[in-house]
Amino acid sequence: MSSVLFIALPLLFGFATPLLSKFGKNGVAFTSTALQLFLLFLAFSLIGDKPYIEIISIAPPLGISFVLNKVSLFFVTLFTFMMVAFSIYYLSYRKTDAYKNETKFFILLNMLLASAIGLVLSSDIFNVYVFFEIAGISAYILTAYKKTPSALEAGIKYLLTGSIASIFLVFAIILIYLNIGSLNLAIIAQDFETLPHNIKVFISILFLIGFGFKVEIFPLNFWVSDVYEGSTALVNSLFSGIVVKAYLFAFFHILYLFLPSGEFSTFLIYLGAISMIIAEIVALKQTNLKRVFAYSSLGQVALIFTAFALQSIDAIQGALFIILAHSIAKIVIFLALTTIEKNYKSLDINVLKELNAPFLRVVIVIAMLSLLGIPLFAGFIGKFLVLKAFAVEQIFPILAIIIIASLLEAVYYFKLIGFMFEKGDRKDKIKVDFTHKFIFSLLTFLILLVGITPFVISGFLLDSANVMLDSISYIAMLVKG
Amino acid sequence: MNLKRDISTSTFSGFALSASLIITFLNVLLNNIPVDIKRVGDELLKLNGSEGVANAVTTVVVYFRGFDTLGEIAVLFIASLGIGLMLDSNIRCNLKAESNFMLKTASQLLFPIIILFGIYVMVYGHLSPGGGFQGGVIIASGVLLLLISHKEFEVPHSVITLIETFAGISYVLIGLIGLVVLDKFLGNFLPNNISDMGLLLSGGIIPIIYIIVGIKVGSEMSMITQNLIKRSDDV
Amino acid sequence: MIGFIILSVFIGIIIIAFSAITQKKLADSIILFMGVSLGSVVLFFIFKAPDVALTEAVIGAGISSLIFLMALKHLGEKK
Amino acid sequence: MFEFFNQPEVIKIVVTVGSMTLFFVGLFGLLTQKHLIKIFMSVAIMETALFLLFIGLIYKQSALAPILTDNQQGFINMNDPVPQAMILTAIVIGMAVLALGVSFAIEYYKLTGKTDIDEITSLRN
């Protein structure tokens, strides 16, 4: 089996939808979900395989190739799983409240999945740029999909920041090609150290600005909360669960390759820490649930950023744990918010006071506790590993900042939990149908499973962290061909 | 230019900010003007001889970096989808003024020539400058001419969608056939003799893919222009 | 001679670009933007990149300007 | 006098300074202009500047365009085709994003009547 199928099949699906829509109303919906399920099985079947290079047209280092190793397989599986969960949720959601022009919605979902996987797998920097753009464009359209003024406003903001980001990324790629003469990540990684210091710093800064917009790092994250507020909660689950994770991995994967000695490590750590603390402070005074969770996403992403920036195996393992926990928790929360919004037509923070849905309440609380990093929930082990790594490196200011940020996070999460269990008038009871119950239970079960028995996956994640940091064997694999 | 009159603080600060940024850029770039080094392009040029395609850029675009082109097609596809979604209206064309006789006749006269030129650029993409993207956009510009000159003309939506679907599917399928036959996606599985270089039928799958790209780009750009123009007339 | 042509075309497109940006009337600035694209077509041609020149001619000067003109028709002049 | 400009180093300096100045014009427009069309135009100008920088710095005066014609012996002494292919891709992608942005702007204008970037602030903060 070959890893290019992860990208080729969603593209094929996208191109073929006009034919599929001839098979009736549900044809596209079911084909899309079936395709994603197939990709999930494909991903599972690849676990345990050796690192594998997929050649496109011509062997590396001349051409484009895809590298499937442990860490990229982790992300591929995660994204496919998230998309499957989302699709199954949506299959039931669409019966009552379908999106307009649904075929287009399904195409966008599959394109988003394909581009996120492409960002993770590709070993060619210009190809990374192409996937960067595909993911961006699908996300812009998904943001503006509802065509309300706020959705369009968010779409315009997202698109403008995205195109500025891509300009800086193109600039960096141009300078890399001019100075190194190759686009293959391995060759660039070999020669990057030998560049003159000026140009090296310059390329790194351009690269940081280009990806900084997308990995939502301070001060380039001003657009994030608007985008989350403008788009629907349904789509936000994808932004938080898939898109930003793909960009994060691509950024740090390339960073580790180019700068294995970690020259900007301290700078990036403090950048992440600043974004984390700012996001958590701003989250305190938000009154819209989508915005609250947007800022909470920013905080978590900044924590992952900080952990990745340390460039130590423990921290990376922790970051991968946090990515897993955060993706699951955020998809649970945003899908639950979608159900709430559909029933109560509002996502103001006060809606939680009148929430009448015991099942959803429990699910949301579990997801929040996991985000907080309470023991026995999935988020704990990741945060613990990250804290341990910083303690080992004796960077105590960061330790303090992470703990303060967690406390701030606890303040507003417990405020929300308090709202949910407050005594008072309740609205009509929300009926959660069977499919949704199944999805929510599955995801919360995963949260608890990872939380209580982290060892089922920690070995795999430790290997992944090793692979991610090990630039030498990555280079050797590609250069040898 | 009346710059003096409306120069304001924001203009000035914008000017200062961008100027300082650019001076930094220039400082770095001018001190490190890249010298001629060995580039991947030189090796690709050498390899290009064995593909039997006269235009090296076409080989690089369609074959050596073929996946970028697939991604690019996907970008155009999604963008055209998004534009269709945004400007989706059932309001019929209703031009403010009937276009005059001269414009109508001239566009009828020019349309076949533009289409022919577009097809030429598309089909000869592997032998001369040009190719699928350029040819496709030229065809779309011919359609644009008809759209603005003929009130009643509309791009036949269903036919175009069918053509586009066909082109998209065959692009990915050609890639998958390469995967099956040569064990590499988009591998060149058709005969491509060097002796055929310069002939229309040379280069294996490369001209075929470029024509498919041209069809796809042409139909997508026609739909984009149609969407933009259709909407503009109901203002 | 070729170097001097490059220099003058560069100076030309910079001036055109600046006036396109600062122009009050949007229609004028769109026409000037087409000028920028055309100038870069000339440069690409001089730099021996005929494929890029052709692409820039049909996309930069053609379709992009069409898109801007259509946007102008919808959005109207600045209020 | 004209020979002075023909030296490869001078051409490289001219290309660098010229395209960076064009980039500056785009950046200036991005920072100071308010109308959405002008902003998209500034972005397009910045992109064009980068493409000019790339192709201009790759350009060798003695080399030929990377297309084989009748009186040539083979693919030797040609300009690098890879940057040209990359720029071709980047131009099309830039145009797609531009068209999408314009369609967002049109739809937004239909709904609210606003085209000024400073007025697009209905979402809080």
- What's the CATH code of the domain at D23? 1.10.287.3510
Res A121: pLDDT:
92
Q: Give a yes or no: residue B7 inside a domain.
A: no
- The pLDDT of B38-49, averaged and rounded, is 80
DSSP class of residue A67?
E
Beta bridge partners of A30: none
Tokens linked to D73 = 């012996």
Chain C residues touching residue B138 (CB < 8 angstroms): 58
Q: How far apart are CA A11 and CA A324, in angstroms?
A: 26
For residue A96, the SS3 value is helix
- Residue A231 near residue A157, CB atoms below 8 Å: no
Give residue B191's domain range: 34-232
CA distances from B154 to B93, B105, B150, B166 (A): 9, 17, 9, 21
Q: How far apart are CA C73 and CA D105, in angstroms?
A: 12
Structure-derived torsion over alpha carbons of residues C6, C7, C13, C19, reported in degrees to the nearest 10? -170
Q: How far apart are CA A441 and CA C66, in angstroms?
A: 52
Chain D residues touching residue A162 (CB < 8 angstroms): 97
Q: Between B and C, how many CB-CB pairs are < 8 A?
A: 45
Q: Give a yes or no: residue B6 inside a domain.
A: no
Q: How far apart are CA A313 and CA A327, in angstroms?
A: 21
- Name the pTM for this structure: 0.94
Chains that touch C (3 or more CB pairs under 8 A): B, D
CB contact under 8 A, B85 and A118: no
Chains that touch B (3 or more CB pairs under 8 A): A, C, D
Q: Give a yes or no: residue D68 inside a domain.
A: no
Q: Give a yes or no: residue B14 inside a domain.
A: no
- Matching residue, tokens 């395989």: A49
For residue D66, the SS3 value is coil
- Residue B215 near residue B163, CB atoms below 8 Å: yes
D residues 19-58 lying closer than 8 A (beta carbon) to B:
20-21, 23-24, 27-28, 31-32, 57
The helix (H) or strand (E) run that includes residue B7 is none
Q: How far apart are CA A57 and CA B209, in angstroms?
A: 13
**What is the tens place of the pLDDT at every residue in B136-179?**
999 998 988 888 888 777 788 888 888 999 999 999 999 898 88
By CA distance, what is B63's nearest residue in D? D85
Res B91: pLDDT:
53
Which pLDDT band holds residue B7 (cuts at 50, 70, 90)? low
Which residues have a Cβ under 8 Å from the Cβ of A164 and sit 6 or more positions away?
Answer: A213, D30, D43
Does residue B93 register a pLDDT over 50?
no
Structure-derived torsion over alpha carbons of residues A411, A412, A417, A420, reported in degrees to the nearest 10? 140
Q: Give a yes or no: residue D44 inside a domain.
A: yes
By CA distance, what is B175's nearest residue in A? A8
Q: Give a yes or no: residue D73 inside a domain.
A: no
The number of domains in chain B is 1
- Residue A111 near residue A17, CB atoms below 8 Å: no
Nearest CB partner across the interface for D107, out of B40, B55, B86? B86
- Matching residue, tokens 């001190």: B31
Q: Are chains A and C touching, using the cut-off of 8 Å on CB pairs and a minimum of 3 such pairs?
A: no
Give residue D88's domain range: 2-61+80-119
Burial of A481 (0-12, 13-18, 19+ CB in 10 A): exposed
The helix (H) or strand (E) run that includes residue A65 is strand A65-68
Q: How far apart are CA B41 and CA B47, in angstroms?
A: 10
- Biggest alpha carbon distance in chain B? 69
D78/chain B closest Cα distance in angstroms:
8
Q: Give a yes or no: residue B71 inside a domain.
A: yes
Cα-based angle B20, B21, B26 (whole degrees, multiple of 5): 95
Tokens linked to B101 = 């006789």
**What is the tens place of the pLDDT at every residue in B109-125?**
999 999 999 999 888 88
- Matching residue, tokens 């200036």: D28
- Matching residue, tokens 């959803």: A360
User: H-type helices in D1-121, by residue range?
Assistant: 2-6, 8-32, 36-58, 81-112
Q: How far apart are CA A119 and CA A247, in angstroms?
A: 7
- Residue D68 near residue B54, CB atoms below 8 Å: yes
C35/chain B closest Cα distance in angstroms:
18
Beta bridge partners of D64: D78
> What stretches of C1-79 adopt beta strand conformation (E)?
none
Q: Give a yes or no: residue B165 inside a domain.
A: yes
Closest-CA residue to A137 (of B52, B79, C58)? B79
Q: Which residues of chain C have pLDDT under 50?
A: 79
Cβ neighbours of D111 (radius 10 Å): 15
The one-digit pLDDT tens for each residue of chain A (481 residues) are: 688 889 999 999 989 888 888 777 788 888 889 999 999 999 988 887 788 888 887 877 888 889 888 899 999 999 999 999 999 999 888 888 878 888 889 999 999 999 999 999 998 999 999 999 999 999 999 999 988 889 999 999 999 999 999 999 999 999 999 988 888 898 899 888 888 888 899 999 999 999 999 998 888 888 888 899 988 899 999 999 899 999 999 999 999 999 888 788 889 999 999 999 999 999 888 888 888 899 999 999 999 999 999 888 889 999 999 999 999 999 999 999 998 888 888 888 888 888 788 888 889 999 999 998 888 888 889 899 999 999 998 888 889 999 999 999 998 898 888 888 887 777 777 888 888 899 999 999 999 998 888 888 888 889 889 988 888 888 888 887 5
The number of domains in chain D is 1
Q: Give a yes or no: residue D67 inside a domain.
A: no
Nearest CB partner across the interface for C51, out of D44, D84, D110? D84
Which residues have a Cβ under 8 Å from the Cβ of A303 and sit 6 or more positions away?
Answer: A272, A276, A322, A383, A386, A402, A405
HEC sequence for B54-119: CEHHHHHHHHHCHHHHHHHHHHHHHHHHHHHHHCCCCCCCCCCCCCCHHHHHHHHHHHHHHHHHHH
- Residue A358 near residue A381, CB atoms below 8 Å: no
**What is the tens place of the pLDDT at every residue in D65-114?**
788 777 777 777 788 889 999 999 999 999 999 999 999 998 888 888 88
Tokens linked to B197 = 């270089």
CA distances from A355 to A46, A305, A382, B57 (A): 43, 34, 31, 61
Note the ipTM here. Answer: 0.93
Q: How far apart are CA D60 and CA D67, in angstroms?
A: 15
Res B3: pLDDT:
47
Q: Give a yes or no: residue D35 inside a domain.
A: yes
CB contact under 8 A, A141 and B78: yes
Domain residue spans in chain C? 2-75
D121/chain C closest Cα distance in angstroms:
18
Count of all residues that appear for chain B in the document:
235
CB contact under 8 A, B130 and C51: yes
- Residue A216 near residue A298, CB atoms below 8 Å: yes
Q: How far apart are CA A208 and CA A251, in angstroms?
A: 8
